[in-house]
A and B are shown apart, each in its own frame.
Chain A
């Protein structure tokens, strides 16, 4: 029983980490239907930038973190302005592939500036784990959970009530109609990339406070894809719910199924669940179902 509780808590905690990264992915998809393959690299780059600010330049946190946010905003603006804007109205797969180019480019920049390629951020959170009813969870994960909920809340409110947010949703729905209404689509895209980079930066800082800054962050970013697709590509709620589902699947599967099968089964279970869910709900759990007409 204590074990079950432990599996549940740690599964939920890890799931929120995935959810946080996934939110950044949804942001871009929601406004421009572009799958951002450079997500992992954005996480990596902003983690290194944080390292540069806090450890190398020795800025205090109150100065360092706002600089990181500014950097992320600038990064998002640059990527959109110079790489994605020229491709507006081109085949969507070309836009997706161009983010692959961005991914390689960022990787190169990172190994150019930080060639020693492994580092640790200063400890951001207290280390003493929290215990309740026999289960243990580290404070790092709790903070991640808290922050992803905050980000989720902000994004939801923004998309629901703010003018820009509504315009973003409209853009996702029909670019042509939005343009006809006089909403500048390019500004919308630019903003959504800037926000997405900030979310990636927040995710990056939190994840690298758990496991240090390594290339592995890229693949943690990739894991967000499965979360997003399970939740529905255009749904924040989907991301915030699918994250814990994947986390729980890993944790419970790893806990109970590993003795029965080969080791490492926990990395497969989420995918099996996703395939089954997709067969029942082809647009993910909360994704918008597109009604198709001929």
Chain B
């Protein structure tokens, strides 16, 4: 991508820097201040939505590494999130281990489960691979539901508040800091991973895995690594979700949720760091705003029998997905890039 005129790089480090100019830094710091100042200006509900967005973002970032960078289609992400959620629940509730152990454990266990279901990816490709991940979704949920001596089964399981030492994340805003610190770390990790040897290997595998293999990339290793990292992040997201809702059963993690995750990263833009952020924010906000604002508004302003407007939510939600994709099939992040390059050259069009 072109840089604004007058910006030159003299060292490799400068060339590779994510934030290159002072304006970048100013905007970035401004954004972080705005983000972490959110508890000051958001009410409890909107903070809750923000937390949900943060948790979803962590999982979507992982899925984006797996699908967007490495090209391995996974339609079972909610299943891996469930593994993470239940791991931390079992660690902190049943075994009474500290939260941090639960958090890391959740990531590791989900990653390992991801590895197991990722093995078929060595032979199976594209949409055919989707079935092994759908299978993962169903098998994981079935095990959770029936291994009731450990997971609580259909009754569900209680999860204590997250806590680090004496610090207990009780309020919505303290949870916000916890979730978004991890979300920011994950985003940076993903951004940087994509620029390392591993990331380039992922992209090579995605674009043509035969060619990648010929060039000496170990397909087995990198595909499984992508599964591990993607599911590790899903596990972390699951753990945070578990501590956030406090009580859960396996119905939290449905197949529709898994499919929606795929939708989010595609609407946002596959294979970009910005993509999952945009996709998650747009989808989660749409879900909330349509139900919380639009439906009550319609119900109150039109003199029809109560409940008539409920169909509007899924209808507009579907319509929004359709429009986003028809107007920007490469994802919102792509539109953002176009906007940026146009803005850089403005007022000259070339």
The interface of chain A, by Cβ under 8 A from chain B, is: 35, 37, 83, 86-87, 90-91, 93-94, 96-98, 100-113, 115, 219, 222, 225-226, 229-230, 233, 262-265, 267-268, 271-272, 274-275, 278-279, 282-284, 287, 292-294
CA distance A264 to B250 in the complex (A): 14
Bound-state Cα–Cα, A294 to B326, Å: 31
Given A90-B330, A233-B128, A275-B132, A101 and B325 touching (CB < 8 A)? yes
Give the number of residue pairs across the A-B interface with Cβ within 8 Å: 154
**CB atoms of B330 and A104 under 8 A apart:** no
- Say yes or no: A86-B138 contact (C-beta < 8 A), given A107-B314, A264-B146, A278-B120: no
- Asked if B310 and A268 make an inter-chain contact with CB atoms under 8 angstroms apart, the answer reads no
Taking CB atoms, residues of chain A closer than 8 Å to B320 are 101
Task: From the candidates A90, A101, A268, A275, name the one contacting B321 in the complex (CB within 8 A).
Answer: A101
- Pick the most buried of A91, A93, A282, A294: most chain B CB atoms within 10 A of its CB: A93
In angstroms, Cα B259 to Cα A35, docked, is: 12
Asked whether B240 is an interface residue with its Cβ less than 8 Å from the other chain, the reply is no
A291 and B317 alpha carbons, distance in the complex (Å): 40
Contact of B313 among A108, A262, A292 (CB under 8 A): A108
Find A98's partner among B124, B325, B330 (CB 8 Å cutoff).
B325
Chain B residues positioned under 8 Å from A107 (CB to CB)? 314-315, 318
Q: Mark B238-272, 1 if CB is under 8 A from A, else 0.
A: 00000000000000000100011011001100100
Q: Which of A104, A105, A113, A115 has the most CB of B within 10 A?
A: A104
B345 touches A (CB below 8 Å): no
* A94 pairs with B325, CB closer than 8 A: yes
Q: Does B282 contact A (CB under 8 A)?
A: no
Binding site for A on B (CB under 8 A): 67, 73, 120, 123-125, 127-128, 130-132, 134-135, 138-139, 142, 145-147, 208, 210-211, 214, 255, 259-260, 262-263, 266-267, 270, 307-308, 310-322, 325-326, 329-331
- Are A93 and B317 neighbours in the complex by a CB distance under 8 Å? no
- B130 with A229: CB separation less than 8 A: yes
Q: How far is the CA of A77 from the CA of B144 in the complex (A)?
A: 43
Q: A105-B319, A294-B214 are in contact. List 20 more A-B contacts (CB 8 A).
A: A96-B266, A97-B267, A98-B325, A102-B322, A103-B318, A104-B315, A111-B311, A112-B308, A115-B308, A229-B131, A233-B127, A262-B147, A265-B142, A267-B138, A267-B142, A272-B135, A275-B132, A278-B128, A279-B124, A287-B128
> Does A37 lie within 8 Å of B313, measured CB to CB?
no
B-side contacts of A272, CB under 8 Å: 135, 139
Contacts of A83 in B (CB 8 A): 322, 326
A1 to B267, CA, bound (A): 54
Q: Within 8 Å CB of B138, what residues of A?
A: 267-268, 271
Please, how many angstroms separate the alpha-carbon atoms of A86 and B326 in the complex?
A: 6
Task: Indicate which residue in A37, A96, A233, A279 contacts B120 across the interface (CB closer than 8 Å).
Answer: A279
A115 adjacent to B329 (CB under 8 Å): no
Inter-chain CA distance A35–B73, complex, in Å, is 13
Q: Are A275 and B120 in contact (CB under 8 A)?
A: yes
| B308, A91: Cβ atoms closer than 8 Å | no
A/B interface sample: 29 pairs, CB < 8 A: A37-B259, A87-B326, A90-B330, A91-B270, A91-B330, A93-B67, A97-B267, A98-B326, A101-B263, A108-B313, A108-B314, A108-B316, A108-B317, A109-B311, A110-B311, A111-B311, A111-B314, A222-B255, A225-B131, A226-B134, A264-B145, A271-B139, A272-B135, A272-B139, A275-B120, A279-B123, A282-B124, A283-B128, A294-B214
Given A103-B318, A108-B316, A115-B311, residue A274 in contact with residue B131 (CB < 8 A) = yes
CB distance from A275 to the nearest CB of B (A): 5
